[in-house]
Amino acid sequence: MEIIKPGTNFDFLGKRKVALGGSAILLLVIWLLVPFRLNLGVDFAGGTEIEVQFHQNVSPVEVRQKVEEAGFADASVQQIGEKTENAFLVHVERVQILSPEQTEAVRAALQSALADYGVQSIDFDQNVGDRIDVRTEKPAPLDVIRNAVAGVPGVQLRAGGEPVRDLSRGAQPAYQVLTQGLSDKVTGALQQAFGQDKVEVRRVEFVGPQVGEQLRNRGIMAVLLSLVAILLYVAFRFQPKYAPGGVLSLFHDVSVVMGFYVVTGAEFNLTSIAVILTIVGYSINDTIVIFDRVREIESRKTGKSLYEILNLANNESLGRTIITSLVTALSLLGLLFFAGGTSLWDFAAAMLVGLISGTYSTIFIAGPFALWFDKWFARRDAEQKAREARLAAQDRGELPAKQGGGKRRARAHAD
Amino acid sequence: MERSWYVRLGLVLAVVLGALYLLIPTFVYFSLPQDVRNDPGALEAALPSWAPKKRINLGLDLQGGVHLVLGVDLDKAEQDRITRRADELRNWATEQKLAFQSIRAQPAEREVQVTFASEADASAFGKAVTNYFGDMEQRSSGTTSTYAFSSEALKNFRTGAVDQALRTIRNRVDKWGVSEPTIAKRGDNGILVQLPGFKDPEQAKDLLGRTAQLAFKIVEDGRQGVVEGLGAPPEGITLGSDGNQTYLQSTDRVALQNFVQGKAPEGMEFGIGRVEGTDVPGREPVFRTYLLRSKVELTGDRLTDARPLLDKSGIGSGKPYVGLTFDTEGAREFERLTGDNIGRRLAIVLDDTVDSAPVIQSKIAGGSAQITLGGAKSYNQLLQEANELSLVLRSGALPAPVSVLEERTVGASLGPELIRKGSLAAVIGLALVVLFMAVYYKMAGLIADVALLLNGVLILAALAVFGATLTLPGIAGFVLTLGMAVDANVLINERIREELREGRTAKVAVNNGYGKAFMTIFDSNLTTLIAGIILLQYGTGPVRGFAVTLIIGLIASMFTAIVVTRVLVDARVRGRHGEALSV
Compare CB distances from B422 to A281, A333, A339 and report the shortest one's residue: A339
CA distances in angstroms from A32 to A40, A250, A259, listed in the order given = 16, 19, 10
pLDDT digits (tens, 9 = 90+) for A344-359: 889 999 999 999 999 9
B320 is in which domain, residue-wise?
211-404
How high is the pLDDT of residue A129?
A: 63
For residues B165-174, average pLDDT: 84
Nearest Cα residue to B544 out of B491, B434, B468, B487: B468
For residues A59-64, average pLDDT: 89
For residues B556-564, average pLDDT: 90
Confirm if A225 and A250 have CB atoms less than 8 A apart: no
Q: Looking at domain A100-180, which of 3.30.750, 2.40.128, 3.30.70, 1.10.10 is its CATH number?
A: 3.30.70
Flag whether pLDDT at A404 surpasses 50: no
**Residue B412 DSSP one-character state:** T
Confirm if B367 and B326 have CB atoms less than 8 A apart: yes
- Which residues in chain B have Cβ-Cβ distances shorter than 8 Å to A174? 80
Compare CB distances from B483 to A161, A181, A332 and report the shortest one's residue: A332
Confirm if B217 and B358 have CB atoms less than 8 A apart: no
- Which residues in chain B have Cβ-Cβ distances shorter than 8 Å to A232? none
B58 and B80 both lie in a single domain: no
Confirm if A149 and A157 have CB atoms less than 8 A apart: yes
Nearest Cα residue to B248 out of B189, B218, B289, B303: B289
**Mutation site for A-interface testing, chosen from B202, B403, B548 by largest number of A Cβ within 10 Å:** B403
Rounded distance between C-alpha atoms, residue B174 and residue B183, angstroms: 11
Question: Could B203 and A222 be called an inter-chain contact, meaning their C-beta atoms sit closer than 8 Å?
Answer: no
B301 and B317 both lie in a single domain: yes
How high is the pLDDT of residue A126?
A: 64
Each domain of chain A, given as residue ranges in start order, spans 13-41+209-379, 47-95+184-207, 100-180
pLDDT digits (tens, 9 = 90+) for B523-556: 888 888 888 999 888 877 778 888 899 999 999 9
Confirm if B86 and B104 have CB atoms less than 8 A apart: yes
On average, the pLDDT of chain A sits at: 85
B56 and B104 both lie in a single domain: no
Compare CB distances from A229 to B398, B440, B534 and report the shortest one's residue: B534
On average, the pLDDT of chain B sits at: 85
Nearest residue on chain B to A125, alpha-carbon basis: B403
Handedness of CA B356, B358, B360, B365 (dihedral sign): negative
Question: Could A348 and B476 be called an inter-chain contact, meaning their C-beta atoms sit closer than 8 Å?
Answer: yes
Question: Which of B204-218, B476-490, B493-507 shows the lowest mean pLDDT across its residues?
Answer: B204-218
B278 and B307 both lie in a single domain: yes
pLDDT digits (tens, 9 = 90+) for B278-302: 666 666 778 999 999 988 888 887 8
Question: Could A331 and B482 be called an inter-chain contact, meaning their C-beta atoms sit closer than 8 Å?
Answer: yes
B555 and B416 both lie in a single domain: yes
How high is the pLDDT of residue A5?
A: 78
Question: Could A176 and B401 be called an inter-chain contact, meaning their C-beta atoms sit closer than 8 Å?
Answer: yes
**Mutation site for A-interface testing, chosen from B435, B439, B516, B528 by largest number of A Cβ within 10 Å:** B528
Question: Could A3 and B440 be called an inter-chain contact, meaning their C-beta atoms sit closer than 8 Å?
Answer: yes
A to B CB pairs, distance under 8 Å: 288
> What's the gap between Cα A121 and its chain centre?
40
How high is the pLDDT of residue A198?
A: 87
**Mutation site for B-interface testing, chosen from A331, A337, A362 by largest number of B Cβ within 10 Å:** A331
Question: Could A281 and B530 be called an inter-chain contact, meaning their C-beta atoms sit closer than 8 Å?
Answer: yes
Question: Could A225 and B203 be called an inter-chain contact, meaning their C-beta atoms sit closer than 8 Å?
Answer: no
How high is the pLDDT of residue B316?
A: 58
Rounded distance between C-alpha atoms, residue B499 and residue B517, angstroms: 12
**What distance in Å separates residue B147's CA from the closest CA in chain A?**
19
**What distance in Å separates residue A263's CA from the closest CA in chain B?**
22
Flag whether pLDDT at A407 surpasses 50: no
Rounded distance between C-alpha atoms, residue B372 and residue B386, angstroms: 9
**What distance in Å separates residue A41's CA from the closest CA in chain B?**
13
Q: Is residue B12 part of a domain?
A: yes
Compare CB distances from B483 to A200, A286, A327 and report the shortest one's residue: A327
Domain boundary, last residue among B155, B175, B210: B210
Radius of gyration of the CA atoms of chain B, in A: 32
* CATH architecture of structural domain A47-95+184-207: 2-Layer Sandwich (3.30)
Nearest residue on chain B to A4, alpha-carbon basis: B494
CA distances in angstroms from A288 to A332, B212, B556, listed in the order given = 23, 57, 20
B387 and B245 both lie in a single domain: yes
Nearest residue on chain A to B330, alpha-carbon basis: A170
B252 and B399 both lie in a single domain: yes
Question: Could A289 and B520 be called an inter-chain contact, meaning their C-beta atoms sit closer than 8 Å?
Answer: yes
Asked if the domains at A47-95+184-207 and A100-180 fall in one CATH topology, the answer is yes
For the ranges A116-130, A277-291, B40-54, B174-188, the maximum mean pLDDT occurs at A277-291
Rounded distance between C-alpha atoms, residue B454 and residue B568, angstroms: 13
SS (H, E, C) chain A: CCCCCCCCCCCCHHHHHHHHHHHHHHHHHHHHHHHHHCCECHHHHCEEEEEEEECCCCCHHHHHHHHHHCCCCCCEEEEECCHHHCEEEEEECCCCCCCHHHHHHHHHHHHHHCHHHCEEEEEECCCCCCEEEEEECCCCCHHHHHHHHHCCCCCCECCCCCCEEECCECCECEEEEEECCHHHHHHHHHHHHHCHHHEEEEEEEEECHHHHHHHHHHHHHHHHHHHHHHHHHHHHHCCHHHHHHHHHHHHHHHHHHHHHHHHHCCCECHHHHHHHHHHHHHHHHHHHHHHHHHHHHHHCCCCCCHHHHHHHHHHHCHHHHHHHHHHHHHHHHHHHHHCCCCHHHHHHHHHHHHHHHHHHHHHHHHHHHHHHHHHHHHHHHHHHHHHHHHHHHHHCCCCCCCCCCHHHHHHHHHC
At B305, which CATH number? 3.30.1360.200
Flag whether pLDDT at A410 surpasses 50: no
* Residue with the larger pLDDT of the pair A261 and B316: A261
- Which residues in chain A have Cβ-Cβ distances shorter than 8 Å to B77? none
Rounded distance between C-alpha atoms, residue B275 and residue B393, angstroms: 19
Backbone angles phi, psi at B353, to 5 degrees: -115, 125
pLDDT digits (tens, 9 = 90+) for A17-61: 999 999 999 999 999 999 999 988 888 888 888 999 999 888 889
Rounded distance between C-alpha atoms, residue B451 and residue B396, angstroms: 59
User: At A414, is the pLDDT very low, low, confident or very high (cuts 50, 70, 90)?
Assistant: very low
Confirm if B298 and B216 have CB atoms less than 8 A apart: yes
Nearest residue on chain A to B404, alpha-carbon basis: A128
Rounded distance between C-alpha atoms, residue B573 and residue B505, angstroms: 10
For residues B5-26, average pLDDT: 92
The full DSSP string for B313-354 is: SSTTTT-EEEEEEE-HHHHHHHHHHHHHTTTSBEEEEETTEE
**What distance in Å separates residue A407's CA from the closest CA in chain B?**
33
Q: Which residues sit opposite A401 in a β-bridge?
A: none
Amino acid letter, A379 = R
Per the structure, the count of domains in chain B is: 3
In angstroms, how far apart are the furthest CA atoms of chain B?
110
**What distance in Å separates residue A97's CA from the closest CA in chain B?**
14
Q: Is residue B582 part of a domain?
A: no
- Which residues in chain A have Cβ-Cβ distances shorter than 8 Å to B538? 218-219, 221-222, 273, 277
Rounded distance between C-alpha atoms, residue B322 and residue B469, angstroms: 40
Flag whether pLDDT at B183 surpasses 70: yes
Nearest residue on chain A to B396, alpha-carbon basis: A169
pLDDT digits (tens, 9 = 90+) for A277-332: 889 988 988 888 898 899 889 888 888 888 999 999 999 889 889 999 999 999 99
B475 and B369 both lie in a single domain: no
Rounded distance between C-alpha atoms, residue B431 and residue B563, angstroms: 23
Rounded distance between C-alpha atoms, residue B22 and residue B52, angstroms: 6
Among residues of chain A, what percentage have pLDDT more than 90?
A: 24
- Which residues in chain B have Cβ-Cβ distances shorter than 8 Å to A234? 527
pLDDT digits (tens, 9 = 90+) for B316-374: 567 888 888 888 888 888 899 899 998 899 999 888 889 888 888 888 887 788 888 76
Question: Could A168 and B301 be called an inter-chain contact, meaning their C-beta atoms sit closer than 8 Å?
Answer: yes
Rounded distance between C-alpha atoms, residue A132 and residue A153, angstroms: 16
Question: Which of A379-383, B381-385, B474-478 shows the lowest mean pLDDT across its residues?
Answer: B381-385
- Which residues in chain A have Cβ-Cβ distances shorter than 8 Å to B534? 222, 225-226, 229, 277
Question: Could B408 and A351 be called an inter-chain contact, meaning their C-beta atoms sit closer than 8 Å?
Answer: no
Compare CB distances from A222 to B428, B538, B542 and report the shortest one's residue: B538
Rounded distance between C-alpha atoms, residue B357 and residue B355, angstroms: 7
Among residues of chain B, what percentage have pLDDT more than 70?
A: 96
Compare CB distances from A165 to B210, B404, B408 and report the shortest one's residue: B210
B14 and B30 both lie in a single domain: yes
Compare CB distances from A200 to B207, B411, B537 and report the shortest one's residue: B411
**Mutation site for B-interface testing, chosen from A84, A169, A267, A294 by largest number of B Cβ within 10 Å:** A169
* Residue with the larger pLDDT of the pair A131 and A288: A288
B491 and B382 both lie in a single domain: no
Q: Read off the pTM.
A: 0.79
At B14, which CATH number? 1.20.1640.10
Fold of A13-41+209-379: Multidrug efflux transporter AcrB transmembrane fold (1.20.1640)
**Mutation site for B-interface testing, chosen from A158, A327, A352, A362 by largest number of B Cβ within 10 Å:** A327
In angstroms, how far apart are the furthest CA atoms of chain A?
101
Flag whether pLDDT at B439 surpasses 90: yes
B222 and B356 both lie in a single domain: yes
Domain boundary, last residue among B210, B225, B243: B210
Other beta carbons within 10 Å of A238: 19
How high is the pLDDT of residue A406?
A: 45
Q: Is residue B579 part of a domain?
A: no
How high is the pLDDT of residue A333?
A: 92
How high is the pLDDT of residue B221?
A: 87
- Through-space distance between the first and last CA atoms of chain A, rounded to whole angstroms: 36
User: At B579, is the pLDDT very low, low, confident or very high (cuts 50, 70, 90)?
Assistant: low
Domain boundary, last residue among B178, B210, B242: B210
Question: Could B483 and A176 be called an inter-chain contact, meaning their C-beta atoms sit closer than 8 Å?
Answer: no
Q: Is residue B581 part of a domain?
A: no
pLDDT digits (tens, 9 = 90+) for A328-344: 999 999 999 887 767 78
How high is the pLDDT of residue B206?
A: 78
ipTM: 0.81
Question: Could A351 and B480 be called an inter-chain contact, meaning their C-beta atoms sit closer than 8 Å?
Answer: yes
- Through-space distance between the first and last CA atoms of chain B, rounded to whole angstroms: 22
